Amino acid sequence: MSARRRRRRTNWPYSLVQIALAMFPIIYVTIDVGLIYLYRPRQYGGAGEVIGSLFDAVVILWGFAVGACLGSFLNVVALRTPRHETIGGGSYCPYCCVPIRSRDNIPILGWLSLRGRCHACRLPIPPRYMIIEVIAGALVCALVWVQVVYGGFNLPLDGYNVHSPARLVMHWDSLLIGRTLYFALTLLYLMTTALVVGNRLLLPPSMVYSGWLLAVVPALSYPKLLIYNWKSESMKSLEGQELYLAGLMTVITGVIVGVLIARTTLLTLYPKADPKLLSSHPDTKQAYDWIWQWAWIGAVFGWQGALGTALVWCLLLAFLYPIIRRWDFPLTLPPTLLFVAATLHLVLWRQLVKVPFWPGSEWGFWGALTALITTMLMAKLLIDRDWQTTKEDAAIAPQNSLAVVGLPSDSSLDEIE
């Protein structure tokens, strides 16, 4: 008598995600058109609003998909580059090294379809890969929504309409799309560096050079991508030589202020680092990575954005870090929260500028000085010895490939068997 065939359980997470992706355009169009009829003036008629809203929903969904794919690639970059491995070639299981099948390599859905286990050896694949893909997809999706679909209502100065959608299908704003690509790539690169730093590794020179190219070259080639100039004025009204000179001064002042912020918080994060940055101590090398990240933020968002990001970073240390500090995830450490702070500041920039003494507001120099002093004092108060002790204990362990990808110990492998 043949053995009874085992019934396969329904993969509910995988099914629910598929349903959510399929239903998103319908739900978005229903809510958006309903809000237009209730609160906003109708500009294109009933059919026009529905078509425009449907197109916006597809663009938002496309942004999430592209962001998730980039997050999958950045997982590979953050894992292989510090170990001086090539980022080419397909993905493979970290245990048995069997290549992952193409149908299982789809971001988010691939991990869910496999139920978090390799199809060959059936050992668990860490969920951090899927989580990073979700974060990257949500980041690009949020930027596409606030800057492309809703016409840049998060950006200060440039007079974008905050009361009605831009209707991308009706109006094509190339500057907004360019800014969205520039900011999205910068934030995703900051997330990659945060993953490397969160894994207790140093940024390789290739990542440092790539970061400078990504931050500086677009800003100098087309300065209108920047929001503020160094005088806290809009870049849209400038032309010709004046535009490129303002772009150069904006990048230089942004880098200087970013480095200054890093220097004021450096010894709090890395107390054993050489204040002159001349020694070969591991803390000194990590301090350089901290300086590079702040310099990139200053180059892309100007000195106003760098100081604003510093304030948001302090708020995250005060309210979010005490909750997530026990989580075993690379993006929950004080240095890696910088990526989260930069993202939140960009999305909420227009509203934050209205806060008194916020950098970039009418307070000017006094707002900048207040932000710098506040960042230095709050960093000293909020980053306690627990962070430093945890970092030192982790540095004792060998930085091999098993520790980087979070592979289980021998005892946990025995339990799996």
Q: Tell me the HSE value of 407 on the side-chain side, using a 13 A CA sphere.
A: 16
Neighbours of 76 (CB within 10 A): 18
Question: Are both 209 and 158 inside the same structural domain?
Answer: no
Given a contact cutoff of 8 angstroms between Cβ atoms, the answer to whether 50 and 165 are in contact is: no
Q: Percentages helix, strand, coil for the chain, rounded to the nearest 5? A: 65, 0, 35
Question: Are both 158 and 244 inside the same structural domain?
Answer: no
- Amino acid in position 86: T
Q: Is residue 322 part of a domain?
A: yes
Q: Is residue 4 part of a domain?
A: no
Question: Are both 345 and 395 inside the same structural domain?
Answer: yes
The tens-digit pLDDT sequence of the chain (417 residues) is: 444 555 667 788 888 988 998 899 899 888 887 777 676 666 666 677 788 788 888 889 999 999 999 998 888 888 888 777 777 777 777 778 788 888 888 898 888 888 888 888 888 888 888 899 999 999 999 999 888 888 788 888 765 655 445 555 556 778 888 999 999 999 999 999 998 888 878 888 989 999 999 999 999 999 999 988 888 788 877 888 889 999 999 999 999 999 999 998 888 888 888 888 887 788 888 889 999 999 999 999 999 999 999 999 999 988 888 888 777 777 778 888 899 999 999 999 988 888 887 887 666 667 777 788 888 888 888 776 556 554 444 444 434 433 334 444 333 333 333
Q: Is residue 378 part of a domain?
A: yes
Quote the domain boundaries for residue 125: 12-172
Question: Are both 86 and 158 inside the same structural domain?
Answer: yes
Question: Are both 216 and 365 inside the same structural domain?
Answer: yes
- Amino acid in position 199: N
Question: Are both 360 and 267 inside the same structural domain?
Answer: yes
Given a contact cutoff of 8 angstroms between Cβ atoms, the answer to whether 71 and 129 are in contact is: no
How distant, in Å, are the alpha carbons of 94, 187, 210, 303, 337 from that of 180? Answer: 34, 11, 19, 19, 21
Given a contact cutoff of 8 angstroms between Cβ atoms, the answer to whether 77 and 192 are in contact is: yes
Question: Are both 207 and 331 inside the same structural domain?
Answer: yes
Of the residues 172, 194, 217, the one at which a domain ends = 172
pLDDT tens digit sequence for 141-187: 999 988 888 878 888 876 565 544 555 555 677 888 899 999 999 99
- Chain-centroid distance, C-alpha 127: 18
Place of tokens 């901290």: 290
pLDDT recorded at residue 189: 93
Query: Phi/psi of residue 275, each to 5°?
Result: -55, -30
Strand spans (E) along 92-212: none
Question: Are both 103 and 234 inside the same structural domain?
Answer: no
Q: Is residue 6 part of a domain?
A: no
pLDDT recorded at residue 399: 42
Of the residues 153, 172, 191, the one at which a domain ends = 172
Question: Are both 37 and 141 inside the same structural domain?
Answer: yes
Question: Are both 255 and 350 inside the same structural domain?
Answer: yes
- Chain-centroid distance, C-alpha 10: 33
Instruction: List, as one string, the DSSP characters of 333-348.
Output: STTTHHHHHHHHHHHT
Question: Are both 149 and 267 inside the same structural domain?
Answer: no
pLDDT tens digit sequence for 396-411: 443 443 333 444 433 3
Q: Is residue 161 part of a domain?
A: yes
Q: Is residue 194 part of a domain?
A: no
Question: Are both 214 and 163 inside the same structural domain?
Answer: no
Q: Is residue 69 part of a domain?
A: yes
**The total number of structural domains that make up the chain:** 2
Q: Is residue 407 part of a domain?
A: no
Of the residues 172, 189, 220, the one at which a domain ends = 172
Strand spans (E) along 209-363: none
pLDDT tens digit sequence for 49-65: 788 788 888 889 999 99
Question: 3-class DSSP state for residue 134?
Answer: helix
